Structure 1
């Protein structure tokens, strides 16, 4: 029977229906014919009723056989073929339910094998073609890996695309935040210096001044880690697209200068204290000498010529000491300001950055004018200081319009902030300068900015009588004339150890729900517990997660830790996950671990296999941990149920076997091992979901919700 063709089998099903109908009709006719005329109507009614039931039963039986022999095997083979095409799975060599389909099952197996062979051939060709490139890349990676300087590549919205070991060790050790692909660099660095440097470079590129600028598409900056524990001095370089027509990201290289800056500040304060003390003592000695000389003149103890000589000597020595103290003051200022990058800034760029800053969100209008100059300053802090003064004037006077004017002066340049109304008082301006500037710039006041630039700021009126606040700035040496034309910088060519340049081309979605699944960042996680009943007091003993960025499982960016459950671990649970009471002794409690895991997750999508179970433990510890895991959640069980149906086995082992994913025995039922396996399953499901029209996160959540509703209805039957 198994050798019959599929067409013959389908013919037999319909032939069986016809034969059954004929047999029923024949039986009904014989039954009616045997009776007499007096009960003909009753016999016809009975024969018709019985015939209907028999025919309905016959059709139902034929349909069940057709479904079992043809429809369901075809549906299963279709799912297996789709998995082979989109996820690389192979059609099983034998399937009992497909034995009645004739040549279809063998043909599909042959097609699957040919497809797998073609893929292996293509993969071999690609591997052969890229082997030499990988060798070269490996050499570059080794150089950058051992480089004692931090290197980070980021998108224009400050998402990390690359980092080396030095950057990771410095930023993570200083801040405790996670340095990972797709993560915001501004979670690690103080934000405003980065944003300001990027704005300067993009304006320089837009105006094509980078072609003549000495630094091209690069600019130095000084920043600090968000925690404030480390200070860094770096250089930002803009990265252009292959055609060189638009910026697509930037490269940051930096060194740790925490001790250097601390020592500079300490030296500056020490020198300032010494000079202040010496000035007071010199003044006291000068006054004491003058008093003694006057007494000597009054009592006649010395000749007038001797007194004149002594006065001249005291005056000369006081003048010399004053000059030397002035020189010491200048050296102290140079020591501090020398640690900060006084870069060359085009005055037009500086004024535009001030007008665009709008840190407090007020509706202000600006006019810019004056001389076009090259300045030497820390433009990031100058912009913050000018922005703060503008906002304080707006609050104090109610004015919303300002003029920013750059003037050339004999001793350098001056930035004038002109506004309506009367000039601010010196006392009020001093109070504003004592305020801390924006937190994104670190703990810095306006007086700190002025001290670093060895300048001051004061209110007055200009020649036309308009109120203003003036800030003198230094001119850039040697930049009176345009610099020789330079060739544009070429994009960075190195690809070090942690990278994913494909993220450059990834557009930012309007919302996470509308984003294609493959473009999102995921954290696939798993937990191990003391038991399976959280409502009866079971607790976490382990949690692990691994990140997926741009369709890649980042095994180097994993979270894996044991947790002290605060209660004994049953022997039955230990036999499953292998975690004993001794192993969790001294480990942190869930309330301490979950905030760290929450920081690791960030704004990624959470994924788990049977996510409802794992999320229950995260939710139960919300009060103890102080964090809420309100990120979107996907469940690989529900997604696989949408693809393969609830009748298939959807365990992690079954799905891994279906997709050819090998779970090492020692890793099975460990949080990290299961998280890695689930991550690989999720990537396989992406292709199948796309083939079914499930492309975005919202669509994936929608089909998951339908699976939840279906399972609830099934439980009610």
Structure 2
């Protein structure tokens, strides 16, 4: 049975996470790899990696790994083949997994190593489709999402710890996903493919667009950088017959709720279809909510007329 047709609770999953020297996918180095899979017996992969470069102090403050801890660790050429064997044939799950896969791809190219993966799924993208954009404004990080699904948080900011948290959240999400008709891996892939703004932001940051790459990307590396989404959908599949129109005095919170209910990425602002003054997109909402949590209530009450984009 192909992975895409398998129910999510039967898909062989390996949850993967990396700790790195920084957040630049193409140039920063791996210093720890953690992977964990479910089944009858948990299989763990937990390895420190000597990056061959100094670990910045700012990174050490986050994950606690310094140069002394990796001084005697194996270099990546000795580790990556073991990881490749560990994940072979499994769905690779991760929180913002597009970053981790981009780092692994860059490291493999840097060392001239063979690296490939068959299928991947981003937990954050899946949660965005399940919970909606308004909820993800608050639950957009791993810890809040874990709290939402009553998953204990342990060994945070270690590769294995974060991988274990991610896998537990995924298992807790399955009943809610099934209730929304997201039953198979193919269903999940179709849902996350709708997150155009989030996918575009990930690609801009240099991450791999796992929503577009449902099969092994290594044999088609040049094509993997081209988003096939526009070429695999008809305009009628993407357009709404009746666009969502809200008045200028409607609030940011109501716009987020309307986007979630209509599965759209933006709303038009105006009195009616003949008097459109502008639009508000998911990105506009994200830009406004990049505020302290204490400002969340105020931000949700912002009128759309004050934040809309207009000609």
Q: Could you report, residue by residue, the CA deviation over 1:365-412 in whole angstroms, capped at 9, with x for unpaired residues?
A: xxxxxxxxxxxxxxxxxxxxxxxxxxxxxxxxxxxxxxxxxxxxxxxx
Aligned residues: 201
State the distance in 1 between where 2:65 and 2:114 align: 26
| Corresponding position of 2:12 | 521
| Corresponding position of 2:106 | 620
Given that 1:609 and 1:637 are in contact with CA atoms closer than 8 Å, whether structure 2 keeps it comes out as yes
Mapping of residues 602-641 of structure 1, within 5 Å: 602-623=88-109, 624=111, 626-641=113-128
Q: For CA contacts below 8 A with separation 6 or more, give which structure has more relative contact order.
A: 2
State the distance in 1 between where 2:107 and 2:89 align: 20
Q: 1:707 aligns with which of 195, 199, 203?
A: 195
| Corresponding position of 1:655 | 145
Mapping of residues 166-181 of structure 1, within 5 Å: none
State the distance in 1 between where 2:183 and 2:165 align: 22
Q: How high is the TM-score relative to the length of structure 2?
A: 0.61
How has the CA–CA distance of structure 1 residues 541 and 515 changed in structure 2, closer, same or farther, with 3 Å as cutoff? same
Given that 2:29 and 2:107 are in contact with CA atoms closer than 8 Å, whether structure 1 keeps it comes out as no
Shift of 1:622: 2.5
Q: How high is the TM-score relative to the length of structure 1?
A: 0.27
Given that 1:639 and 1:685 are in contact with CA atoms closer than 8 Å, whether structure 2 keeps it comes out as no
Q: Does 1:544 align with 2:34?
A: yes
Q: 1:569 aligns with which of 39, 55, 62?
A: 55
SS at match of 2:38: strand
| RMSD across aligned positions (CA) | 1.8
Shift of 1:627: 2.4
State the distance in 2 between where 1:641 and 1:705 align: 11
Given that 1:592 and 1:625 are in contact with CA atoms closer than 8 Å, whether structure 2 keeps it comes out as no
State the distance in 2 between where 1:547 and 1:653 align: 20
How has the CA–CA distance of structure 1 residues 530 and 710 changed in structure 2, closer, same or farther, with 3 Å as cutoff? closer
Greater helix proportion: 1
State the distance in 1 between where 2:102 and 2:45 align: 19
Mapping of residues 334-353 of structure 1, within 5 Å: none
How has the CA–CA distance of structure 1 residues 708 and 618 changed in structure 2, closer, same or farther, with 3 Å as cutoff? farther
Shift of 1:706: 1.1
Unaligned runs of 5+ in 2: 201-264, 266-281, 285-308
Q: Could you report, residue by residue, the CA deviation over 1:172-206 in whole angstroms, capped at 9, with x for unpaired residues?
A: xxxxxxxxxxxxxxxxxxxxxxxxxxxxxxxxxxx
Please identify runs of 4+ aligned residues in structure 1 that moved more than 3 A. Answer: 708-717
SS at match of 1:621: helix
Q: Could you report, residue by residue, the CA deviation over 1:215-236 in whole angstroms, capped at 9, with x for unpaired residues?
A: xxxxxxxxxxxxxxxxxxxxxx
How has the CA–CA distance of structure 1 residues 601 and 638 changed in structure 2, closer, same or farther, with 3 Å as cutoff? same
| Corresponding position of 1:35 | none
Q: Could you report, residue by residue, the CA deviation over 1:632-680 in whole angstroms, capped at 9, with x for unpaired residues?
A: 101110110001112222211011101111112xx11000111111010
